[in-house]
Amino acid sequence: MKIGKIIAIAALIAGAATIANAADGATIFKRCVVCHGKSAEKVPPGGSIVSATLSAEEIKKSLRLYKTDKEHGGKMKANMQIQVKPLSEEDIDAVADYIFKNFHIAK
């Protein structure tokens, strides 16, 4: 019984690690859609920029700053600080590249 539980937990952890390591931009972006729109084409509630107009580098820089600099952003920055918290460096690169490649709108 006990061993069964341990194996089940180990399998769960291994599964979660696999998902996290994959750094799949499309999967990560699903979390962003509710506020940014399905093509990053919306101004998020309380925000001011359409993420799709940014370059991949600008998106990466912005996401890293939300993660490392508490002062970065506008009045709704707390929303983004929560969003970027679980993202690894690879996740940030993957989701930014995904947004840029698929949805970029030239300014």
Assess 51 for contact with ligand HEC (CB under 6 A).
yes
Assess 79 for contact with ligand HEC (CB under 6 A).
yes
- Three-class SS of residue 36? helix
Assess 49 for contact with ligand HEC (CB under 6 A).
yes
Applying CB under 6 A, the span of 3-11, 17-25, 58-66 interacting with ligand HEC comes to: 58-66
Q: How many residues bind ligand HEC, per CB under 6 A? A: 25
Phi-psi region of 66 (alpha: psi -120 to 50; beta: other; left: phi over 0): alpha
- Which residue among 23, 25, 32, 93 contacts ligand HEC (CB under 6 A)? 32
If you compute the radius of gyration of the chain from its CA atoms, what whole number of angstroms results?
16
- Which residue among 23, 83, 93, 94 contacts ligand HEC (CB under 6 A)? 83
Cα angle 56, 72, 16 (rounded to 5 degrees) comes to: 60
Q: Report helix, strand and coil shares of the chain as percent, to nearest 5.
A: 65, 0, 35
Distance between alpha carbon 89 and the CA centroid of its chain, in Å?
10
Assess 59 for contact with ligand HEC (CB under 6 A).
yes
Site residues, ligand HEC (CB under 6 A): 28, 31-32, 34-36, 44-47, 49, 51, 54, 59, 62-63, 73-77, 79-80, 83, 95
